[in-house]
Structure 1
């Protein structure tokens, strides 16, 4: 009999019939639980390591993709009121580059960038390894004039030997350009003008 609040109550038969097992059963149960926890921890660690390896491989792949683009340089000199620029594109890589296209841009009213259409002479379709091209770049017909010649900046867009289109501004890092619309180009110019982290 079990006494609850001063009243005697019978002990249920189930309570007396429970088998708590033997010591080896308890050791096996605890061992199974610990093994399950260790397996889960090991699995989570492996997932994390594979994600880190994947991110590292992607970073190395992007760096390798930009190897040729890093070796493309340019020098420019703004003439007159900023409507004419002497432009030199250098290919210091061991691979040719295709369709080098010089760009002029400047900050327009406020923070907006103005990227006018330009005409370059002579037209260059292919620039071989270790070669340079000297161009005269002028604003296209109907393009707005820059507010001041010192505000004019230059960039060059080109296609590398693997068919990827890049944008390079001065000494800035090369940026992969996914398509040719003006907003994408403006975003790319802005991103290229940001200091490298």
Structure 2
């Protein structure tokens, strides 16, 4: 049996959704009874419940929390391989909102469930929502090279590097050199250098001192 961690506990999410919680309950019941229904209800989640920041939890989007809740409800009936197959399928056919929800569910997955391929796909896009989600806690599974390029992608696309989990722990001299080259290219082109460059360089300096 596989378990996932929700963005919000179910009761908190129900409270935050108010009357829309009825739609959540119905969708959760459907996928709990038959996980194969995920491909039908996952895209419809926002339409059946709500969109936008939750008033009680403004840092959480309703559609993200609902979709992750559906994955949480379906997960116990699936083993790691089956759940990973389902996540890949939902990501592959989903729109940007659905892809983001899949990425946000990954940090709450058991250690044996690793989806580096989804992170790498998200980092190939210029969708800032996907880039930010990909550089969250599940990015610990990226190798050092892919992770460094993910940080650079944040700088390039304007994603705040505060979205990068464990920046201070993983930043190194190679990342600092890459960031400096990026900054030099921007200056040469007469383009502004993002303020977050200094955050990256500071993190690399801190990491070097600690090692």
TM-based fold match above 0.5: no
**TM value normalised by structure 1:** 0.21
**TM value normalised by structure 2:** 0.20
Larger Rg: 1
Question: Which structure has the highest helix share of the two?
Answer: 2
Question: Which structure has the highest strand share of the two?
Answer: 1
